[in-house]
Amino acid sequence: MSAPTPHVLPGATLGVIGGGQLGRMFVHAAQRMGYFTAVLDPDAESPAGRVSHHHIHTDYTDVDGLARLAGLAEAITTEFENVPAPSLENLAVARPVAPAAASVAIAQDRIREKAHFVRCGVACAPYAVIETAEQLAAVADDLLPGILKTARLGYDGKGQQRVATPAELAAAWEATGGVPCVLEKRLALDYECSVIVARGQDGQMVHFPPQRNLHRDGILAVTEVYPGNIPVGQAARAIESTRAIADGLGYVGVLCVEYFVLADGTMVVNEMAPRPHNSGHWSMDACDLSQFDLQVRTVAGLPLSTPRQHSPAVMLNLLGDLWFVDASDTTVEPPWADVLALPGVHLHLYGKTDARRGRKMGHLNITGPDIDTVRSTADFAAAVLGLPIPLSE
């Protein structure tokens, strides 16, 4: 966003490109504050579109659809990073857009993203850019074993291949079709964490406590947030690095940055998401302001308040696998009544019409007076649902 704009006050319409679950939760947050909402998404059954005041069924690059969105909404955001950056540029001619196309474009490309991290003085895992056969041949031996990641369109473990030898690397790159990639050295991890910040048009920035995350098969499974979940020094470094990354972009909006903490205690940045993030869903029930409340404030140009966590929290990601009891294609509704009988359990389902294995269908937030109580309840809920135990590693 190029310049500060007047506040967009409740009663106006806020727009969002993308109709997935993040858009749905943004729409709910905006509506609670008194805004009308407009969603642009090509899926007539999109979760956000089904609950919004306006649903524009067009492709993200459709000029007429974008014009309709700009005509309805007084400020516009996005719920996913792979929206075409030119579409955001198109909208920004007429309306305030946050985050800006330039920030989203950097997050869409791992090569540009890593270069930005380096410019901000934030350490990355050792890596090499592979765009040509010559760069492939020049990869240093000490980067192997590693993970080959496509520069674009990778998320939730997609577009990633583990490689241990130069021959495996060459075969993996060929399997991508020779598209631009990044090879990252595999490191001995202690744990993973993330930090979510919200940055306003005036540069004011607030953040949530760092989140400790557990991934399974490349998809976030569990997030824990409570005092002491991350050593104080590491938490401070993660917050400082995230603020530097956001400031370096001149960012406006909600931004999540993920980190690897290594076995020796050092920390390296993994990637950033220019939007609310799965690891921040706990904030909906454990804080006085959620990440979606702050997304509304940033796009509307409203003042930011530091969110206050009032309860320790565990978030369990709910994938479509829970609807399948065996290897068949028959779906069965999970035992929600048994789960909801537990104290401090908050169920959030995303309104998706079809359950599919690996598809994010919802999440479960568990809050309570202390982390031992919360963990005990989370373990029990996981057992009821058939999720892997233990919840932490």
pLDDT at 155 over 80: no
pLDDT at 81 over 90: no
* Topology of domain 126-185, CATH: Dna Ligase; domain 1 (3.30.1490)
pLDDT in tens, 41-53: 999 999 999 999 9
* Topology of domain 13-97, CATH: Rossmann fold (3.40.50)
Characterize the bridge pairing of strands 181-185 and 127-130. Answer: antiparallel
Contact 332, 355 (CB under 8 A): no
pLDDT at 5: 59
- What span, in angstroms and rounded, lies between the C-alpha atoms of 46 and 19? 5
pLDDT in tens, 273-317: 999 999 999 999 999 999 999 999 999 999 999 999 999 999 999
pLDDT at 1: 42
Percent residues over pLDDT 90 in the chain: 91
Q: What mean pLDDT is predicted for residues 173-188?
A: 95
Residue 157: pLDDT band by 50, 70, 90 thresholds? Answer: low
User: Which residue in the block uniquely carries the two structure tokens 């020796």?
Assistant: 264
Bridge partners of 17? 40, 78
Choosing among 3.10.580.10, 3.30.70.100, 3.30.479.30, 3.30.470.20, the CATH entry for 189-385 is 3.30.470.20
Triad 193, 357, 211: Cα angle to 5°: 10
pLDDT at 119 over 80: yes
Give the domain ranges of the chain: 13-97, 126-185, 189-385
**For the chain, what is the mean pLDDT?**
94
pLDDT at 244: 98
Q: What mean pLDDT is predicted for residues 60-75?
A: 97
pLDDT at 363: 98
pLDDT at 389: 77
pLDDT at 393 over 70: no
- The backbone region for 325, taken as left when phi is positive above 0, alpha when psi lies in -120 to 50, beta otherwise, is alpha
Backbone angles phi and psi of 13, in degrees to 5: -110, 130
Contact 281, 348 (CB under 8 A): yes
Where is pLDDT greater, at 215 or 328? Answer: 215
Q: What mean pLDDT is predicted for residues 202-210?
A: 97
pLDDT at 301: 97
pLDDT at 3 over 60: no
